[in-house]
Structure 1
Amino acid sequence: MFLSQQFRRCTEPAAFALLFTAFLLHAQDLPRAPQAQIFPTTPEVGPFTEPAIAVNPGNPQQVVGVFQDNVHASYSTDSGHTWKLAENVDPKNYRISGDVSVAFDNQGHAFVCYIAFDKLGTFNYWAHDATRNGIFVRRSLDGGKTWEPEHVPVAEQTSSPGIPFEDKPYIVADNSKSRYAGNLYIGWTRWRLTDSQMLLSRSVDDGKTWSQPVEIDAHPGLPRDDNGAAEGFGGVVGPDGRLYAIWSQDNEIMFTESRDGGKTFSRARPVVHTAPIMFAIQTLERANGFPQIAIDARSKRLYVTWSDYRNGDLDVFLSSSGDGGKHWTEAVRVNNDPVHDGAEQFFQWLAVDPTDGSIDRRRDPANRKQIVVLARSTNAGRSFKNYAWTDELFEASDVFFGDYSGLAAYGGRVYGIWTEKPAVAIEEKDKPEPGKDAKEAKPQRHGTIVKIGTADFGERERGK
């Protein structure tokens, strides 16, 4: 997560902040994030994962966090000091909904984007035996408190043999002052039986209608939810209304741009080479290093972040471009633990001016427990300082942790949203027999919760 310092002069580089979950190996040495607060946002333990969060740039007191299963939303009207759950956000005409993202447009309207379906197809080969499914948006006119009763389809498939499966959408709002201001964009992966496509649709009427999707990849990816697929869309709009998009494909971060409000795109090309983007981590069921992209609107410098294991264990990296994506810097390692120490970082997130964010992990000697950490840079991403955001330990084993977390910031105040597995007591019937190792206790498989964290660098910076 990267912070904007709007009280600094425009000639100075943007401030960045990164959020990540840290295994205990080095976390005890980290300073506490300034004015850190943590808020549980799920009312109970359940299948809650893949959260996202956004700040209304027109009214920064309004903050919305979303998460699955199904679609849920929390909102704050006081810059994250208190939170409430919204009601009736999930669609009632589908059995399952998720893969959520959220954005505020230039009118201050909040949009939650999600997929909905009745039943998944074959595991990881999602187009095989797919049932009706689609991508939808729902709008809130009051900062996330209430949501319009009907969702709007972006792309919808009715049940019939051989239909594709629409997956992992991400919504982007154009809040610039360009001729395309107010546009909304959604990019996603379309799984077909033979390949995967990266598609994009746009709305020019406040999300009421959406264009026919255009394929923005240079060539389709593999048809399986694994390395080689076209997956993990990220997008950002520059101050001139130019739309930049990235995703992972063939061990590369692919890049394309649109200069006409999302009508046409340049030929996609690789800009950063990575190790395979899908990987296994300790006892976690699955993880990935899907990339994100952001821009400093003052300097027009683009930033991309991702995670991979080029160093043996997983690290988070950042690269930037000062010429609109033509050339990119060498990767900067974001996490500050020693190289090759066996720690693992992933689920990073990124935004610049006013925010940039990232989520990692570092492991303890047992490779199990973590805390959440915030990292920050004030020199345009050349180096980072890490802070402990939480001090309560949690595990990630034996549950589905999703594919991502989220971060947002405004005016030096940072908002993170992440998944945790709460501790549960071992039931009496599952305890090991007297004299036997506690490791023989039956594993306690249960659900997850979502938490929101806030930190504030504003007072510190204004006091300089």
Structure 2
Amino acid sequence: MTSTGSPNEPSICINPKNTNIVVAGSNLNFYFYSTNSGLNWTKQTLTSTYSVWGDPSITVDTAGNFYYGHLTNPSGGYFIDRIVVQKSTNGGVNWNNGSFAGYIPPKQQDKEWLCVDPANNNLYMTWTQFDSYGSSNSNDSSTILFSRSTDAGTSWSTALRINKKAGNCIDEDNTVEGAVPCVGPNGEVYTSWSGPLGIVFDKSTDRGVTWLSGDKFVTTQPGGWDFGIEGIYRANGLPITACDLSNGPNRGTIYINWSDQRNGTTDTDVWLIKSTDGGNTWSNVKRVNDDPAGRQQFFTWMTIDQATGYLYFVFYDRRNYSNTQTDVFMARSTDGGETFNNFKVSATPFTPNSSSFFGDYSNVTAHNGKVRPIWTRLNNTSLSLYTAIVDFTSFINLRLKILMEGFYQPLFNQMTRKDTVKVYLRNASSPYAITDSAKGVTDSLNFTGLFLFNNAPTGTYYIVTKHFNSIETWSKTGGEVLLSNGTVYNYDFTSSVSQAFGNNLKLKGGKYSLFSGDINQDGIIDASDLSFTDNDSYNGVTGRFVSSDVTGDNIVDAADVSLVENNSNDMVSVSRP
């Protein structure tokens, strides 16, 4: 998008009336607009008599009007003295001078975010106010403020403090920051933020007029929201709040996304929690990134495609490297945040340098299957802004339910761990050629994984599963009609023996599973697999991804030998057309 002006902290928004129109912004005072869905961009400098000083937040109303919120630093005035919102009625080409909220000098206003209520086009905005930014004086505090506009951004209500527990002004873990507002289906306004209590939540049920009497605790944030990442000048894991307004099964569900270091300073992860009762109770925390432990994922952002209810996440990711090389990944959830499909969107990795300020966040927007992430990367010594063309209108989306025999524990109705599976789509007619393949992670509790096929057209396919120590298993005779239109297709190998070609499944605890024990992946469980497992058992081999550990408990022992021996005696092998 641009490689000049040291752009960072980007914001991006698709016009739902016309998804060819996309508008973005970045620090300190840039805006970008595209008329061809993000393929090409025009870059301009935003101006206002109030001044323009970073923290861009862009949203759009149902009429297609865009709004650009930002900070100010007026000449001869107070530093970041108010929040200004400018409006564009022509797709981001031109902007008015703007209106403002939160002018309470000499206090400073920071990290604002905007949203629109599609029911009435009300604008809602939350942000952090500092008595004195950077002050360590215990008499100075930070608070969360709210304002709304009911006249398309012409004017704003008096700023209202909505948090009860104040933070300090140091701009660190005990400062209250990260309030991103969203709307519910019945006029609710929701937001959450980080601070000394962890992640807390607040809501209004009357379009922002009144709020809860106290901050509602959501979850801890181990390690705080302000943490270190090698090569990054400053990193944070502030929360993003969003609510499903689609007509899908998760309408009204509230989601909060953040990152933290609960698994250690070298294993930052991306997390999600949700509420299905208006924020009264919250689910268990879910890990969004699906890589093995020990790598860094950070600078997350989340959005909901309100046409489908699907969740999209973007984050920086180092899963593929042992150094500071960094990719940008996305994750997608089509089942209300229960499972996540991760995929890389950056073409090449980059290596950040802590002398370059990346800002505090990336961003992503989505509508009706068109998804546009935006992020900052370092090319040599220059910061650049990038997006990716991610369209889920021409993908085959498969939600697969499978069990691995050795992993499944019927007593607890769960697998010993989640694990990676590779799935092939093969033509349903001879010679059954491979059309496409995808990797996904099957969950240990609901046994499902999401698999996205970018290169397969609509057609009839056999679904073929490959797990590193299980028998290759084909779907039932005749294949499945899969549409390349973004629709999620569900296939369940666990429900019936006939779901596999040749009835090639193992009944265990009332569910059907893939046969375990094909250690060398030659398509048959035989003496060679048994010998390999027996040797590893004798030597007490341990580890997470040991092929002979067919029970998935990280040790090769008699239980593994017994299972492989039984399947070897039964001469279990691949069954295919």
TM-score in terms of structure 2 length: 0.63
Q: Retained in 2: the 8 A contact 1:320–1:328?
A: yes
CA distance in 2, matches of 1:119, 1:310: 43
Quick one: structure 1 residues 138 and 251, their matched pair in 2 at CA, closer, same or farther if it must change by over 3 Å? same
CA distance in 2, matches of 1:254, 1:119: 36
Quick one: structure 1 residues 291 and 334, their matched pair in 2 at CA, closer, same or farther if it must change by over 3 Å? same
1:257 aligns with 2:194: no
* Residue 251 (structure 1) shift: 4.7
1:451 aligns with 2:406: no
> What code does the residue aligned with 2:34 have?
S
Quick one: structure 1 residues 132 and 295, their matched pair in 2 at CA, closer, same or farther if it must change by over 3 Å? closer
Alignment partner, residue 34 of structure 2:
76
Quick one: structure 1 residues 283 and 352, their matched pair in 2 at CA, closer, same or farther if it must change by over 3 Å? same
CA distance in 1, matches of 2:379, 2:46: 25
1:395 counterpart SS class: coil
Match of 1:223 among 150, 158, 169: 169
Alignment partner, residue 171 of structure 1:
114
Match of 2:377 among 416, 420, 435: 420
**Pairs aligned (count):** 379
* Residue 119 (structure 1) shift: 8.5
Quick one: structure 1 residues 251 and 455, their matched pair in 2 at CA, closer, same or farther if it must change by over 3 Å? same
Q: Retained in 1: the 8 A contact 2:235–2:299?
A: yes
Quick one: structure 1 residues 132 and 457, their matched pair in 2 at CA, closer, same or farther if it must change by over 3 Å? closer
CA distance in 1, matches of 2:17, 2:374: 21
Q: Retained in 1: the 8 A contact 2:316–2:327?
A: no
Alignment partner, residue 302 of structure 2:
350
> What code does the residue aligned with 2:196 have?
D
* Residue 447 (structure 1) shift: 3.5
1:333 aligns with 2:287: yes
> What code does the residue aligned with 2:5 have?
G
Match of 1:63 among 22, 46, 59: 22
Match of 1:197 among 127, 143, 148: 143
* Structure 2: segments with no counterpart, 5+ residues: 133-139, 397-482, 488-577
> What code does the residue aligned with 1:116 have?
T
Q: Retained in 1: the 8 A contact 2:316–2:326?
A: no
Partner deviation per Cα, 1:44-84 (whole Å, 9 max, x = no partner): 33321000111122222221111112x21111223223322
CA distance in 1, matches of 2:332, 2:99: 38
Partner deviation per Cα, 1:359-415 (whole Å, 9 max, x = no partner): 132266552211211222222211212112123121211200000110011111110
CA distance in 1, matches of 2:23, 2:201: 28
Which deviates further from its counterpart, 280-289 or 376-385? 376-385
Q: 5 Å matches for 1:93-108? A: 93-94=50-51, 97-108=53-64
Quick one: structure 1 residues 365 and 422, their matched pair in 2 at CA, closer, same or farther if it must change by over 3 Å? same
2:56 counterpart SS class: strand
1:52 aligns with 2:11: yes
CA distance in 2, matches of 1:80, 1:234: 24
Q: 5 Å matches for 1:57-456? A: 57-69=16-28, 71-85=29-43, 87-91=44-48, 93-94=50-51, 97-118=53-74, 131=79, 133-148=81-96, 150-157=97-104, 163-176=106-119, 181-193=120-132, 194-267=140-213, 268-275=215-222, 276-297=224-245, 298=247, 299-312=251-264, 313-339=267-293, 341=294, 343-354=295-306, 356-362=312-318, 365=321, 367-397=323-353, 398-423=355-380, 446-456=381-391
CA distance in 2, matches of 1:118, 1:108: 30
CA distance in 2, matches of 1:79, 1:223: 40
Q: Retained in 1: the 8 A contact 2:312–2:333?
A: no
> What code does the residue aligned with 1:252 have?
G
* Residue 118 (structure 1) shift: 4.8
Identity of aligned residues (%): 33
1:421 counterpart SS class: strand
1:348 counterpart SS class: strand
> What code does the residue aligned with 1:189 have?
T
Q: Which has the higher contact order (CA 8 A, sep 6+)?
A: 1
* Residue 92 (structure 1) shift: 5.2
CA RMSD of aligned residues (A): 2.0
CA distance in 1, matches of 2:371, 2:335: 18
* Structure 1: segments with no counterpart, 5+ residues: 1-40, 121-128, 424-445
CA distance in 2, matches of 1:266, 1:103: 26
2:102 counterpart SS class: strand
Q: Retained in 2: the 8 A contact 1:91–1:97?
A: no
Alignment partner, residue 34 of structure 1:
none
CA distance in 2, matches of 1:254, 1:302: 13
TM-score in terms of structure 1 length: 0.78
